[in-house]
Amino acid sequence: MAADAQDQLTGTTSAAPVLVPLAGAAGPRDTPQPLVSHGCWYPSADPTGERVAFICDRTGVPQLWTGPAHGTVTADGGGLHLLDADPDPVTEVAWSPDGRWIAYTVAPGGGEHTRVLCVRPDGTGRRIVAGADTGSSAYLGCWARDGSAVAVTVAEPPPSLVPPAPEEAAAEERDAFGELPADWAERDGQATLLGGAHRGEVGPGPGEAGVDGAVRDRLSAYLVDPDGVRSPVLVAAESGAATLRVCDVSQDGRLALVRRGPRGRREAVVVRTADLGTGSVLRVADGDPWIGRFSPDGRTVWLRSDHGREFAALLAAGLDEEGGRSGLSVLAERDGCDLELLAFAGDGRTAALAWNVRGASELSTLGLPAAAGPAAPAPSGGATGTAPPQDVALPHEVVTRISGAGPGGMVLALAGSQRKPGVWWVSGTASPTRTPWSSRDEDAVPPGRPPVRPAPLRPTARDGLVLGGWYYRAPGRAEGRPAPCVIHLHGGPEEQERPVFEPLYHELTGRGLDVFAPDVRGSSGYGRSFVDADLGTGRFAAIQDVADCAAHAVLTGRADPTRLAVMGRSYGGYLTLASLVWHPELFRTGVAVCGMSDFATFFAGTEPWIAESAAHKYGHPVRDRELLRSLSPMSRIDELRVPLLAVHGEHDTNVPPGESEQAVRAARERGHAAELLTLREEGHEFRRADNRRLFRRTAADWMERHLTG
């Protein structure tokens, strides 16, 4: 990174957020009749650890609730309260350290633009803290240690998204990006391509034009007083790659810990709040945005980081008075495993560590030292200068979130192959206890057809790279009898298949179809080199990985080679389309969900900050135009041989719906059966229960028709 980029994390900023009071939305205190089977996730406890705010979909939409951490909930829902009855899905929750406010993020209309709200624990005082302006988005950061302010990141669209006159637009595009395709004007959205070697660094101020003439998103992080007494305080700003998040503020308020940068190049930045100068910068891993915390005295910052490493570990960085790094040590690491989640007890002296062990989670707690020691490696699974971590037994396979609950407790969001997501309370190293408002395991699905517990597989790609994944075998099928099989591809590409209950897989296996959910190269959980193995021309190898995974399922006797299908969402939707045109004789059909079909139209139509981040992963839309063209399924659409179903959310601004529309249109023009299911009031994620159910049943009907008919 350039020296001037390290010196300052700010420049021209977006307008400070303004509080917008809202009418109360809690409704009556009695609780709506809960669904028997529901999911609860993203817990955040009050300062005493007695009550928990969380997200729950018992009404069919993810909404904000509170309930007791332990004890009982009466049959009429006593003690359980819905705090915001609006239909906008809730995505994040954070209870203030002083207990007076609950901050949460919502996605209006189910789309990708979000806003941050605050509400009193009794459901009163609801207000928008940031993101009320049309076209803007806001993201939730940490609370100040005394609860006086909550950090928010505000992302405003650049001025270039205002449509210019046609003649001006054509001239600007030629000047900034060179010759563009003739049909550019008919593509989705307003084109804002991102060029220049400096992209993703803090050089020109947010909203300013770079050397190539492109204008980037403006992101500004503020500390906002939810009472509205004090004006918002700027903490940091950057342009492009909207991942700027304030993760912690030191006890004395001198320093802020900020995560910034595009995917694959995330950084932890210690910012001096007095002058907004940069104290130190350290690489951190992708994944969970909550990367670390300051020690109580502010002389150490504890980080989940893969700085100089293949796998993320817990690092301790000593800090001087200016926030500069004075030492670096490894507190905890595990061979071949990523530290996936990092959280802290209320006293700030105990860390909870969730390790990703071949897709499943292992949880431990670790007492933290008073100060960072000199740089030194830790013994495998141990720590430098501390007592060994203490393991906590888990009742289910995967931890999705950890939050402190009182002086020594924690609340865990857990998911598993046999249950809906739920929240569990734990004290010390005792076994976790399910909260009374989380679904029981036996209620995950209706009686008569229990969920399938998947088996891990480790296919080997044709170039020798060992892959991973989980195989779900339909119940009732005799061993040794090959089954019709759906290869399901996750998104990201940096996501990872985990052994958790997936209603889509349950629907498919209930129709007699096996599911193989592999981790092709580019997936997380296998080290930094594996994540980066699909960059540039490596994406051709990732497409080949899909065929190699299908071959593994066939050669091990699990799958019928004449009845294979491929399916995936987001990047997995792209891989689905790519697999159908690169391996046209392998699959009988495919279902592409919110997938890119042409990188040129994707970059033209997506959000500028997504384009900024995607350019690192897929290739630059101008400099790498030929590579992206050759990787685009639309460039090989003549090779398509089988029926295609595409599914998309109508408000998806991450991957615009036109990506599915043009693929379906092209398939039909070539004489193939092709359908498009558009889900109303949904964005890139499908959050509403009725839409998720419609999607699952439509996809399963399609697969059953083409694989068993």
Alpha helix locations (H) across 606-670? 608-618, 625-631, 658-669
* 134, pLDDT greater than 70: yes
Q: Binning pLDDT at 50, 70 and 90, where does residue 232 land?
A: very high
Nearest to 241, CA basis, from 281, 286, 277? 286
Q: Which two tokens stand for residue 327?
A: 């030492």
Which pLDDT value is given to residue 613? Answer: 79
Greater model confidence, 7 or 601: 601
Q: What is the pLDDT of residue 379?
A: 38
Question: Which of 505, 501, 503, 544 is closest to 522 using CA atoms?
Answer: 544
CB 99 within 8 A of CB 108: no
* Alpha carbon distances (Å) from 189 to 310, 432, 472, 516: 38, 48, 39, 35
**Is the confidence at residue 264, as pLDDT, over 90?**
no
Segment 519-560, tens digit of pLDDT: 999 999 999 999 999 998 999 999 999 999 999 999 999 999
CA atoms within 13 A on the CB side of 509: 24
- Position 371 confidence tier, pLDDT thresholds 50, 70, 90: low
345, 373, 402 from 302: Cα distances, Å = 13, 12, 16
Distance spanning both ends of the chain, measured CA to CA: 57
Q: What is the pLDDT of residue 374?
A: 42
Indicate if the pLDDT at residue 187 is higher than 70.
no
In angstroms, the CA 95 to CA 73 distance is 21
pLDDT at residue 614, rounded to an integer: 86
Beta carbons of 593 and 567 less than 8 angstroms apart:
yes
pLDDT tens-digit profile of 470-504?
999 999 887 778 999 999 999 989 999 999 999 99
The DSSP letter of residue 386 is: S
pLDDT beyond 70 at 183:
no
Query: What's the token pair of residue 67?
Result: 């309930």
Q: For residues 531 and 467, what is the distance between their CA atoms, to the nearest angstrom? A: 11
Q: Which residue has the higher pLDDT, 367 or 169?
A: 367
Average pLDDT over residues 97-120: 92
Is the per-residue pLDDT at 33 higher than 70? Answer: no
Amino acid 12: pLDDT: 52
Instruction: Tell me the residue type at 701.
Output: D
What is the rounded average pLDDT of the residues 243-253? 93
Element (H, E) at 411: strand 409-416
List residues bridging with 469 in a β-sheet. 518
Mean of the per-residue pLDDT values of the chain: 84
70 pLDDT band, cuts 50/70/90, is confident
Backbone angles phi, psi at 159, to 5 degrees: -55, -25
pLDDT band at 223 (very low <50, low <70, confident <90, very high): very high
Supply the pLDDT for residue 145. Answer: 95
Q: Taking the model in full, what pTM does it have? A: 0.86
State pLDDT tens for residues 416-463.
998 889 999 998 767 899 999 998 887 777 777 788 999 999 999 999
Please give the pLDDT value at position 79. Answer: 84
Alpha-carbon distance of 239 to 261, in angstroms, equals: 9
How large is the average pLDDT for residues 116-134? 94
Task: State both tokens at 121.
Answer: 């624990």
- Residue-level pLDDT at 300: 95
Burial of 198 (C-beta count, 10 Å sphere; 0-12/13-18/19+): middle
Is residue 303 within 8 Å of residue 295, measured between CB atoms? no
Strand partners, 338: 356
Contact in structure between 580 and 642 (CB atoms under 8 Å) = yes
Kindly write down the DSSP assignment for every residue of 324-382, as one continuous string. Answer: -EEEEEEEE-BTTBEEEEEEE-TTSSEEEEEEEETTEEEEEEEEPPSS---S-PPPTT-
Q: Find the helix packing angle between 571-582 and 538-555, rounded to 10°.
A: 80
Q: Mean pLDDT throughout 392-408?
A: 91
Whether residue 327 is predicted with pLDDT greater than 60 in this model: the reply is yes
For residue 586, what pLDDT band results from cuts at 50, 70 and 90? Answer: very high
Residue by residue, DSSP assigns 433-479 as EE-TTSPPGGGSS-TTSPPPPPEE---B-TTS-B-EEEEEPPTTPPT
Between strands 483-489 and 559-569, the pairing is parallel
Say which range, 1-15, 177-191, 333-347, 447-461, has the weakest mean pLDDT.
177-191
- Distance (Å, whole) CA 200 – CA 315: 24
**Mean pLDDT value of segment 172-192:** 34
Distance between CA 641 and CA 588 in Å, rounded? 8
- Which of the two residues, 186 and 398, has the higher pLDDT score? 398
Model confidence at 306: pLDDT above 90: yes
Q: What phi and psi values does residue 5 have, to the nearest 5 degrees?
A: -70, -30
